[in-house]
Amino acid sequence: MSDEKEILKEAQQQINKQLSTEGRRRFLKQGLTLGGLVMLTGCDISDSQQVETTLGSISRFNDRVQAWLFNSNDLAPVYPESMMTRPFPFNAFYSEDEAPDINGDDYRLEIAGMVADKRPWTLPQLYQMAQVSQVTRHICVEGWSAIGKWGGVPFSLFLKGIGADLNAKYVSFKCADNYYTSIDMATALHPQTIIALTYDGKILPRKYGYPMKLRMPTKLGYKNPKHIQVIEVTNRYPGGYWEDQGYNWFGGS
């Protein structure tokens, strides 16, 4: 194997070459992963701290570019109910029987950060808000996808209702299953981003995130948190469960 510095230099040259072609926009939207770097260089150098640092820089660059390319007027495809995946697959970093069993009567959604009204929300209060539904595709970073019908409150409506600072950079989520993630404000305000309270016309099942999850068809699956307990609006970078382990933070689908 060539010297690691030469490998990294070659990889950067290949990246720059890609960025100069007509496929620049598509290349940037897809992003560069460790696997992509290995493919470009022909070597497995994943145990190198220097490579990890380089990949981190590329990932942060990719986040900025994806945010720049993101258009709040671009909608994810919607489908007829006849195309729904049945059963819709369960997916988490734990087994289905380990999903949190939450008492809806006692549930309180906590609000934190740059918002005017930090009072907690009960489920009845959320159910009373204006509801929308969507039949959209969930795309998993593992390579599979499934179509489901989600119903709930437009997240932009909720954020405006609590007096959130819409100029803040991030919205973060802490969940009952110890998961956490965060999104950019532009995605939070996207018209298809909803607080999902139902699935297929029924109260959101435990395995899909009861009592509420965030549904964003413009994001990959790991960006859609379930069993949400705390929503925070912040300018401090919050990271995420998988993002802190190397996954792309923007996570656009």
Q: Dump pLDDT digits (tens) for 113-169.
A: 999 999 999 999 999 999 999 999 999 999 999 999 999 999 999 999 999 999 999
- Pinpoint the residues of the chain covered by CATH 3.90.420.10: 81-245
- The CA angle 175-177-182, to the nearest 5 degrees, is 35
Residues in the chain: 253
Q: What percentage of residues in the chain have a pLDDT greater than 90? A: 69
Are 135 and 83 in contact, with CB atoms under 8 Å apart? yes
Which of helix, strand or coil describes residue 168?
coil
Bridge partners (DSSP) of residue 213 are 196
pTM over 0.85: no
Residue 73 — very low, low, confident or very high, per pLDDT cuts 50/70/90? confident
Give the mean pLDDT of the chain: 83
Residue 208 — very low, low, confident or very high, per pLDDT cuts 50/70/90? very high
CATH fold label, 81-245: Sulfite Oxidase; Chain A, domain 2 (3.90.420)
- Label residue 35 exposed, middle or buried (CB < 10 Å: 0-12, 13-18, 19+): exposed
Choice among 6-15, 18-27, 53-62, 177-186 with the minimum mean pLDDT: 18-27
Q: Is the pLDDT of residue 23 over 50?
A: no
Q: What residue type is 191 in one-letter code?
A: P
pLDDT at 74: 86
Q: What is the mean pLDDT of residues 81-95?
A: 97
| Alpha carbon of residue 62 to chain centroid | 15
